[in-house]
Amino acid sequence: MPEKNPAALDFLLTRRSRPAKTLTTPVPTRDELTPILTAAARTPDHGKLEPWRFIVLERPALKRLADEVEMRGAARGEARDRIEKVYRAFADAHLVVAVVSSPKLSEKVPEIEQVYSAGAVCLAMLNAALASGWGANWLSGWACHDREFLDVALGLAPQENVAGFIHIGTETMAAPERPRPDLDAITTWMDK
């Protein structure tokens, strides 16, 4: 039987993200980030396919990606405020981990299960960062779904996608609590 771990349960019952735009320096060093990535890579993975990988975006890369967003946004005809929002998410960030969903050919494991696993990796990374005392936030944005941005700016293969950009840093203000789901409304107890 697993041992009870009330501290871990309490963490899961009270955890909350810190908005990316409120995060600042310092950010984890490469050594400090390693256990966070290790915890994320411990995510359930049907068939041990490792259908995900990480791209750690440090400051120069984030600045470059912000410029790419500016160019792609204009090319796509995105509204100025939509470009600005995604531009700022990269330009103002100090450390972001792109969790890449990287499904493998498999007769046994449907692709959708591999994509679910990539989503679970994002949550595991977010939680590991929060549990390490960092502020963290899982973001996406239109660039996440722009094929040219993914292929050219991030160097993804055609079958790969970004499951999430995990922003990690030092929090500057307390995050407001967020209304949480009504458990009764989302839970069906099936007893026959």
The residue (of 16 and 104) whose beta carbon lies closer to ligand FMN is: 16
Closest approach of ligand FMN to the CB of residue 191, in Å: 30
Residue 43 as a binder of ligand FMN (CB under 6 A): the answer is no
Q: Measured between alpha carbons, how far is 68 from 92 in angstroms, rounded to an integer?
A: 14
Cβ 1 to ligand FMN shortest distance, Å: 29
- What residues have CB less than 8 Å from 19, skipping those under 6 apart? 137, 175
Which residues are bridge partners to 56 per DSSP? Answer: 97
Q: How far apart are CA 63 and CA 170, in angstroms?
A: 19
108 lies in the site for ligand FMN, by CB under 6 A: no
Per residue, what are the HEC states of 106-152?
Answer: CCCCCHHHHHHHHHHHHHHHHHHHHHCCCEEEEECCHHHHCHHHHHH
Tokens 């966070």: give the residue. Answer: 36
Is 135 a binder of ligand FMN (CB under 6 A)?
A: no
Under the binding rule (CB under 6 A), the answer on residue 127 touching ligand FMN is no
Which CB atom, from 139 or from 168, has the smaller least distance to ligand FMN? Answer: 139
Subset of residues 157 to 176 that bind ligand FMN, contact rule: CB under 6 A: 164
Which residue, 1 or 112, is less far from ligand FMN as judged by CB? 112
> Which residues of the shown chain bind ligand FMN in the complex (CB under 6 A)?
16-17, 137-141, 164, 178
